[in-house]
């Protein structure tokens, strides 16, 4: 029998399922020090943990260890690289807390709308202040959900019981999938302008950090409510502070720069604050425990490795091409535009890359959706795209084109049934460096997609590049390199500028308006 160590207060369902299976001996002990427990069971085959740190020293103390499972989504407490060196697979249980977070959003909105906390304190103090605590009903209000991943979709489902109108923003969701959910897909300015309640469910990264700034917050209705149970860095706190004062915006918050004791910087503007309780429910813990046991059983009995987070790159595939695939997808999605919903992806892998098509799809999908991790496999990637309403085709590469070891990625997006747009990008690796060779009809670009990159596509006219450069320079940003070809018909030009730091969003918008750009963005690649 395989010995499984559970050195944590994990719900007992994990132990029960493993024992019922019959192939495991389970040692669950959250009282003994982890090091002592490990020393007593060096023959452990699997380790199931929550927030415990799994260090190289701990791994070395378990010479028979083959699997580590984190009962939860994050796995930063586990040294995944060292585990891989030792041939140990690390897995997690993403999505186990999705419903818990969705219900927390509803709880925050209801508690604030009906002044639950203040009214409770008032009555306990012997007061009777009915007029002071006049509340608001949710029925027939408009709710905007930013990000329709697993949590966002559950928020839509939970809120629908209040007969609300739901607006959604998520470029990955197709129009058909949105209709099935009862969601009207709109752009971000429209969502912020029309919503009575806005709930954020997007990751924090270089593209979303500070996304909710003065330009969006300023569109909110007086007295509207913003709920952040996603990540603190998505919202520009200084801008929110101004809008809360000017418009009486309600701010309900569960996320902070650090999860730790101490004063919180948003205390003066947050009407409700919780200590990051999104996943803290009995049911979420049961789900994580159940899934950890089920994943171990499927891993052993069926060879299912979908949730391995430290997966090996197959022999023969240069890991640099995985990074190229990831960046191609990010760049292609930005070229498509934030308001277009993705409907189709097509790939072509040339040269020695053809046998690795399924591996290279994974980093592409991971670049597009926050609910998909690069640790997952290609079957999970195709299933994820299908769930989002996005079709996928890997085309047979035409080797007569002579594109040695390169990747072509095409994306199609739409505003509606008649307004379609396609973007095509080809890239390769040259002397170990990533290289973008073509974007649409702009040939021989040969630029390295690294660092801060500003992109503008606009109707060709004399002096435009000078205007772009002057505006960027006036913002105190240095230009390190420029590519500026015309398309084959001379109608449009593209300016790709490598800069020393991110060009502020308001500067990008100003340039776009001045040159009538159809594409304008700055991204850190």
Percent of the chain with pLDDT over 90: 67
126 band by pLDDT with thresholds 50, 70 and 90: very high
Mean per-residue pLDDT of the chain: 91
Q: What is the CATH number of domain 319-524?
A: 3.30.70.260
Query: Taking 80 as the threshold, does the pLDDT of residue 140 lie above it?
Result: yes
Q: Name every residue whose Cβ is closer than 8 Å to that of residue 126 and which is 6 or more positions away in sequence.
A: none
Distances (CA, A) of 188 to 2, 32, 165: 51, 51, 16
Other CB atoms within 10 Å distance of the CB of residue 313: 12
pLDDT confidence of residue 64:
95
- 3-state helix vs strand vs coil in the chain, percent to 5: 35, 25, 40
CATH fold of the domain at 98-273 = Rossmann fold (3.40.50)
Cα 232 from Cα 210, distance rounded (Å) = 9
Query: Taking 90 as the threshold, does the pLDDT of residue 80 lie above it?
Result: no
CB 503 within 8 A of CB 495: no
- Per-residue pLDDT, averaged over 405-433, amounts to 88
Instruction: Cite the beta strand spans of 162-280 per DSSP E.
Output: 165-169, 184-185, 197-200, 225-228, 250-253, 272-273
pLDDT confidence of residue 192:
97
Cα 273 from Cα 270, distance rounded (Å) = 6
Q: Worst-scoring range by mean pLDDT, 97-106, 245-254, 302-311? A: 302-311
- Per-residue pLDDT, averaged over 27-43, amounts to 93
Question: What CATH class has 2-95+283-302?
Answer: alpha beta
pLDDT confidence of residue 417:
64
The residue ranges of every structural domain in the chain are: 2-95+283-302, 98-273, 319-524
Query: Taking 90 as the threshold, does the pLDDT of residue 382 lie above it?
Result: no
CB 144 within 8 A of CB 169: yes
pLDDT in tens, 292-348: 999 999 999 998 887 888 876 777 788 889 899 999 999 999 999 877 888 899 999
pLDDT confidence of residue 310:
82
pLDDT confidence of residue 297:
96
- Per-residue pLDDT, averaged over 483-505, amounts to 91
Cα 110 from Cα 114, distance rounded (Å) = 6
More confident residue, 482 or 96: 482
pLDDT confidence of residue 375:
65
CB 119 within 8 A of CB 244: no
pLDDT confidence of residue 68:
96
User: Can 2-95+283-302 and 98-273 be said to share one CATH topology?
Assistant: yes
pLDDT confidence of residue 95:
81
Query: Taking 90 as the threshold, does the pLDDT of residue 377 lie above it?
Result: no
What is the total residue count of the chain? 525
pLDDT in tens, 145-196: 999 988 999 999 999 999 999 999 988 887 778 888 999 999 899 999 999 9
Helix runs in 206-315, H state only: 214-217, 237-247, 282-302
pLDDT confidence of residue 312:
66
Query: Taking 70 as the threshold, does the pLDDT of residue 447 lie above it?
Result: yes
Query: Taking 90 as the threshold, does the pLDDT of residue 415 lie above it?
Result: no
CB 342 within 8 A of CB 411: yes
């Amino acid at each position: 029998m395989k010995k499984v160590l559970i050195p944590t207060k994990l719900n007992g369902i994990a132990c029960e399922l493993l024992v019922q299976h019959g192939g495991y001996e389970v040692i669950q002990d959250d009282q003994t020090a982890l090091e002592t427990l490990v020393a007593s069971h060096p023959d452990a085959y699997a380790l199931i943990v929550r927030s415990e740190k799994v260090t190289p020293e701990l791994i070395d103390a378990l010479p028979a260890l083959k699997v580590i499972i984190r009962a939860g989504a994050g796995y930063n407490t586990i040294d995944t690289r060292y585990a891989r060196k030792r041939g140990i697979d690390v897995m997690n249980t993403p999505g186990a807390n999705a419903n818990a977070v969705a219900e927390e959003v509803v709880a925050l909105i209801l508690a604030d709308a009906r002044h639950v906390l203040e009214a409770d304190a008032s009555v306990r103090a012997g007061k009777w202040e009915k007029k002071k605590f006049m509340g608001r009903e949710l029925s027939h209000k408009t709710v905007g959900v930013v990000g329709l991943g697993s949590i966002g979709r559950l928020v839509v489902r939970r809120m629908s019981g209040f007969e609300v109108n739901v607006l959604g923003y998520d470029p990955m969701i197709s129009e058909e999938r949105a209709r099935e959910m009862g969601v009207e897909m709109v752009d971000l300015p429209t969502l912020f302008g029309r919503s009575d309640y806005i709930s954020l469910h997007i990751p924090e990264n270089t593209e979303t950090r500070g996304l909710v700034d003065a330009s969006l917050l300023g569109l909110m209705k007086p007295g509207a409510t913003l709920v952040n149970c996603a990540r603190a860095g998505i919202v520009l706190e200084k801008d929110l502070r101004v809008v809360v004062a000017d418009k009486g915006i309600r701010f309900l918050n569960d996320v902070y720069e650090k999860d730790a004791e101490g004063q919180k910087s948003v205390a003066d503007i947050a009407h409700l604050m919780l200590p990051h309780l999104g996943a803290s429910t009995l049911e979420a813990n049961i789900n994580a425990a159940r899934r950890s046991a089920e994943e171990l059983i499927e891993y052993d009995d069926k060879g299912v490795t979908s949730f391995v987070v430290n997966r090996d790159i197959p022999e023969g595939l240069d890991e640099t091409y995985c990074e190229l695939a990831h960046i191609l997808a990010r760049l292609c999605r930005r070229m498509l535009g934030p308001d277009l919903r993705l409907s189709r992806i097509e790939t072509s892998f040339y040269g020695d890359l053809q046998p690795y098509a399924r591996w290279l799809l994974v980093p592409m999908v991971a670049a597009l959706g926050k609910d998909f991790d690069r640790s997952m496999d290609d079957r999970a990637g195709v299933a994820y795209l299908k769930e989002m309403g996005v079709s996928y085709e890997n085309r047979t590469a035409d080797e007569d084109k002579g594109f040695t070891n390169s990747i072509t990625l095409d994306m199609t997006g739409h505003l509606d049934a008649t307004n379609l747009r396609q973007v095509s990008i080809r890239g390769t690796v040259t002397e170990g460096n990533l290289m973008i060779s073509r974007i649409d009809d702009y040939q021989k670009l040969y630029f390295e997609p690294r660092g801060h990159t500003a992109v503008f596509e606009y109707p060709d006219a004399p002096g435009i590049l000078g205007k772009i450069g002057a505006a960027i320079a006036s913002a105190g940003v240095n230009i390190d390199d420029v590519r500026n070809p015309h398309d084959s018909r001379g109608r449009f030009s593209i300016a790709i500028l490598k800069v020393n730091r991110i060009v502020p969003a308001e500067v990008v918008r100003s340039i776009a308006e001045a040159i009538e750009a159809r594409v304008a963005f700055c991204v850190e690649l």
